[in-house]
Amino acid sequence: MKKIITLAFALTMGITSFQSCTSTMGTAGSSTMGSITNILTSIMSLFGNIPGLSGMMGSITPATNLSTLLTNPAAVATFQNLLASKFQIPASKVSSAYSSMRTVQDVANFVSKNGNPTILNSLK
């Protein structure tokens, strides 16, 4: 009898834990995905603050390669500083992750994971 009660208790706790994890993960995922468009829009607006890029604003898409936009070290540094400031991400974190970012979409993914939640929620 004790074994049946223990098994029932273990199953109940396992199911409850699984459901709460699924619920939490689903909420976080949909929240991030729901605001990714707003994050992209905000990132794209940063390019307008970099000298020489204001004329390209209409042609920037999520698939745009950063290397075609930021063609010199000064432009890269300016973009990194703007990104760190706008989304309140430590500059060292932006700088170290930048080499793995290829497209504007990669930047948006990075921001969605590392940006200040208050800033990200204000974009909605």
User: DSSP characters for 3-42?
Assistant: HHHHHHHHHHHHHHHHHHHHHHHHHHHHHHHHHHHHHHHH
Residue 9 lies inside a defined structural domain of this protein: no
Structure token pair of residue 70? 């930021």
User: Average per-residue pLDDT in the chain?
Assistant: 80
* Mean pLDDT on 70-92: 95
φ, ψ (nearest 5 deg) of residue 71? -95, 0
Q: Is the pLDDT of residue 81 over 90?
A: yes
Q: What pLDDT sits at residue 13?
A: 53
Is residue 10 one of the residues assigned to a domain? Answer: no
What's the DSSP call for residue 92?
Answer: H
Give the pLDDT confidence score for residue 55 in this predicted structure. 79
Q: What is the domain-level CATH number for residue 88?
A: 1.10.1200
Tell me whether residue 19 is in a domain: no
Determine how many CB atoms are found less than 10 A away from the CB of residue 30. 10
**103 pairs with which residues across the strands?**
65
Taking the mean position of all CA atoms in its chain, how far away is CA 76?
19
Total count of domains within the chain: 1
Structural tokens at position 65: 């390669």
Q: Which tens digits make up the pLDDT trace of 16-55? A: 444 444 333 334 444 444 478 899 999 999 998 898 887 7
Q: How far is residue 41's CA from residue 112's CA, in Å, rounded to a whole number?
A: 13
Question: Which domain does 104 fall in, by range?
Answer: 32-122
Q: Is the pTM of this model over 0.85?
A: no
How many other C-beta atoms are found inside a 10 Å radius of the C-beta of residue 62?
16
The answer to whether residue 90 sits within a structural domain is yes
